[in-house]
Structure 1
Amino acid sequence: MIRTGLDDDLDPGPRDEADPLSHLRSRFVGAQSPLVYLDGNSLGRPLTVTAARLAEFVTGEWGTRLIRGWDERWMELPTTLGDDLGPVVLGAAPGQVAVSDSTTVWLYKLLRAGVDAQLRRDPRRTEIVVDTDNFPTDRYVAEGIAAERGCTVRWVEVAAHEGLTPELLAEALGERTNVVVLSHVAYRSAYLAPVPALAELTHASGGLLLLDVCHSAGSVPVELDAWGVDLAVGCTYKYLDGGPGSPALGYVAARHHGTLAQPVQGWMGHAEPFAMGPGYRPAAGIRGFLSGTPPILGMLAMQDMLALLEEAGIEAVRAKSVALTDYAVALSDAWLAPLGVTLASPRDAERRGGHVTLSHPRMREVVAALWADDVLPDYRDPHGLRVGLSPLSTSFEEVHRGLASVRALLQPD
């Protein structure tokens, strides 16, 4: 057991010993190495079983089945994998989720589809509502679509350490509201949006809600169906461990199938892709939102992580996530606050996702020094060191070592 010289309530040893998920950590590549990885909300560690899966795919399905693989499994993988993701991490019934493209492409397709449907219903609905601290891609895509479709972006000013509250959203909604673009967990502060309340307000105004679950899927319980979310997008290389550049997920609530038309009309979304006909006829359901050839290799790794998440249970994963972030906050209060560090995330765990951001004017240089010493958080302006804690692969002892390194770098000579 590690002894720190601290009060027992800051000792990581008892926490790791009591962690009911600690035995799963050994399944991740490099988890037992000296490297401290505090950036799991940017890129997850791979599972050891994934190496065997990828090798077997090359020598098996790809190497022996060749083009037959498309007929045998690959053509349906975007939707079958989507149906697997639905109940485990998204709270979505079958037929509403597909895996393909990138988050940016899904954002464009679903936001543009929603905007166009709303304009057809009421040409006066010309405002896309976005908060000023939303992830850059979400903001950029919204601005681009607004310019394309003759709309405007209704910006909602939010505090950097908070996010979009029901009170702030209510002030921005009205008869011109088209689509509200919202992140479930804010990428900088980790603010956990109260989605049910925000969805209710959006629908009462006549708008649609598009939810970005990039920083929550696989770490925080998501209930897209129960919350009444209309559209959702999310990446799979963070808590879902799909690997660098793995394809994103898109969700379209079943009630919108047949009424929303996606704008990137590719052969994979055609009702008969191999008919190679002269005109486009969209496939029914979520398949009609596909565009190009699906990236099969990029879908393999997340299948292993999905199985592990199902084994652990998302509620247990969330409980571990809360314990880890609470511990990071406690260490920061004890060690870093006296050195001028402030918490740039909600202190209340019920309002916080799976990471914690710590602010200090020197954090950019601190992060650079940490990386050189195999301690890997990430940096976000302004002055933010982001501690991303992937619940199944991160230990309390790892958090302890990481923040001890931050303290050492901030202490005066």
Structure 2
Amino acid sequence: MSELAERAAKADANDPLAAKRDLFDLDDGVIYLDGNSLGALPRHVPARVADVLTRQWGRMRIRGWTEEGWWDAPQRIGDRIAPLVGAAPGHVVVGDSTSVNIFRAVVSALRMTPGRGEILVDATTFPTDGYVAASAARLTGATIRPVEPKNVPDEVGDDTAVVLLNHVDYRSGRLHDMGALTAAAHAAGARVIWDLSHSAGALPVDLLQHNVDFAVGCTYKYLNGGPGAPAFFAVRPDLLPVLDQPLGGWCSHREPFAMDPEYVAAEGIAKARAGTPEIVSLLTLDASLDVWDDVDLAQLRAKSLALTEFFVDCARELAPAARSVTPAGEDRGSQVSLSCVDAEKVMAELIARGVVGDHRPPDLLRFGFTPLYTRFADALRAAEILGEILA
């Protein structure tokens, strides 16, 4: 047995999260390393969704809103996500998409900073964040300026109202310093919005500790909520009473069934809702979150760091033509991005041979390591196959 194989066997044997893998519907012979785009299906979810469709909708119909708790699902499920991102209970709501929630957060932050008109946007951001921020700027008369996250302390100024950042760079996998960057923005009088789409469910996040104003994120990646699962929106506790979000709809009204022609915002996190919630996908997510009930996030992070480091070691030895562009140690999220020639063709061949990652132009192979179900043996085998293809 090779030294790498011995390391993999020992790490898998000592993995405190190993039993979690059996909770997921995974194919024999396929190494799934794309959980940073779409998480795997927990085995128990189809039966729960079938109940939603056949009994709750099929038999109970309109009674589901009250007797099955559909109406409060956005807040109830938000409370299940809150401990995964270090938010206070009652300050996370689930609904709509990440893009919609970014718009909601940007405009809310602008309204909280009168007299300021600049939005700083992560220059390395996932494109939708920039698109939405630019749209919000056009609607509000604000200006928008891209900055490298590391330069925020030097770039934030007296006119900066909002700083919009990604916690993990979706291309390189770099984990940004939430505490330091939030503090720098606050020192200049700006509000901060963090997009947690590539960190929630992959590593511990502590919104309360870092005094984060707003956070958003999708739930279909590391949280395994299913394709198109609704996003979450978190608000700092002391900001919730003054939140004036731009998409107030009937479900965020203080008395939604009064059908009042005048809008009066609800109390609490319900004021961050908008229209009728997407019940089937919400309850799919609710079922998926069961896999997190007893997960120690410190163990999750330890395994993530060990897995990604091991994969980099394997790739360095077995596939030297691919170069890692992902930072080492604590500066890394839960993915590894490798640069190589003909990356798109290489990824297509990897997928054909049962190693599922994804390609980001022009030259990146991107591999997401989901600690709940990825094994060290998977990381080794993926590097072996990559090496065979590149050779």
Q: TM-score, length-normalised on structure 2?
A: 0.96
Secondary structure in structure 2 of the residue aligned to 1:312? coil
Distance of 1:7 and 1:274 partners within structure 2: 66
**Residue 8 of structure 2: which of 12, 16, 40 is its match?**
12
Residue number in structure 1 paired with 2:365:
385
Task: Give the letter for the 1:248 counterpart.
Answer: A
Unaligned runs of 5+ in 2: none
Distance of 1:61 and 1:268 partners within structure 2: 21
Distance of 2:13 and 2:315 partners within structure 1: 22
**Residue 345 of structure 1: which of 310, 314, 326 is its match?**
326
Is structure 2 residue 43 aligned with structure 1 residue 52? no
1:169–1:198 contact (8 Å) kept in structure 2: yes
Residue number in structure 2 paired with 1:118:
113
Deviates more, 1:296-305 or 1:195-204: 296-305
Distance of 2:305 and 2:284 partners within structure 1: 26
Is structure 2 residue 34 aligned with structure 1 residue 39? yes
Q: CA deviation at 1:56?
A: 2.1
Task: Give the letter for the 2:25 counterpart.
Answer: V
Residue number in structure 1 paired with 2:245:
262
Query: Which string of whole-angstrom CA distances, capped at 9 and with x for unpartnered residues, describes residues 112-156 of structure 1?
Result: 11112213xxx2x11111121111111111111112211111221
Residue number in structure 2 paired with 1:23:
19
**Residue 369 of structure 1: which of 349, 356, 360 is its match?**
349
Q: CA deviation at 1:372?
A: 2.3
Is structure 2 residue 309 aligned with structure 1 residue 314? no
Distance of 1:129 and 1:82 partners within structure 2: 27
Distance of 1:117 and 1:196 partners within structure 2: 21
Residue number in structure 1 paired with 2:63:
68
Is structure 2 residue 370 aligned with structure 1 residue 394? no
Secondary structure in structure 2 of the residue aligned to 1:394? coil
Residue number in structure 1 paired with 2:181:
198
- Runs of 4+ in structure 1 off by over 4 angstroms are 8-11
Residue number in structure 1 paired with 2:208:
225
**Residue 359 of structure 1: which of 311, 333, 339 is its match?**
339
Residue number in structure 2 paired with 1:161:
none
Task: Give the letter for the 1:100 counterpart.
Answer: G
Residue number in structure 2 paired with 1:78:
74
Note the 1:296-307 alignment, pairs <5 A. Answer: 296-307=279-290
Is structure 2 residue 86 aligned with structure 1 residue 91? yes
Residue number in structure 1 paired with 2:235:
252
2:4–2:314 contact (8 Å) kept in structure 1: no
Q: CA deviation at 1:290?
A: 0.6
Distance of 2:331 and 2:49 partners within structure 1: 38
Q: TM-score, length-normalised on structure 1?
A: 0.91
**Residue 103 of structure 1: which of 98, 102, 110 is its match?**
98
Structure 2 CA distance for partners of 1:49 and 1:238, relative to 1, 3 Å:
same
2:4–2:380 contact (8 Å) kept in structure 1: no
Residue number in structure 1 paired with 2:124:
133
Count of matched residue positions in the alignment of Structure 1 and Structure 2: 390
Task: Give the letter for the 2:70 counterpart.
Answer: W
Residue number in structure 2 paired with 1:290:
273
**Residue 155 of structure 1: which of 146, 149, 160 is its match?**
146
Aligned residues with identical type, % of pairs = 39
Task: Give the letter for the 1:342 counterpart.
Answer: R
1:132–1:155 contact (8 Å) kept in structure 2: yes
1:254–1:285 contact (8 Å) kept in structure 2: no
Q: CA deviation at 1:304?
A: 3.6
1:92–1:224 contact (8 Å) kept in structure 2: yes
Distance of 1:135 and 1:283 partners within structure 2: 32
Task: Give the letter for the 2:218 counterpart.
Answer: C
Secondary structure in structure 1 of the residue aligned to 2:36? coil
2:343–2:362 contact (8 Å) kept in structure 1: no
Distance of 2:6 and 2:213 partners within structure 1: 43
1:214–1:236 contact (8 Å) kept in structure 2: yes
Deviates more, 1:241-250 or 1:20-29: 20-29
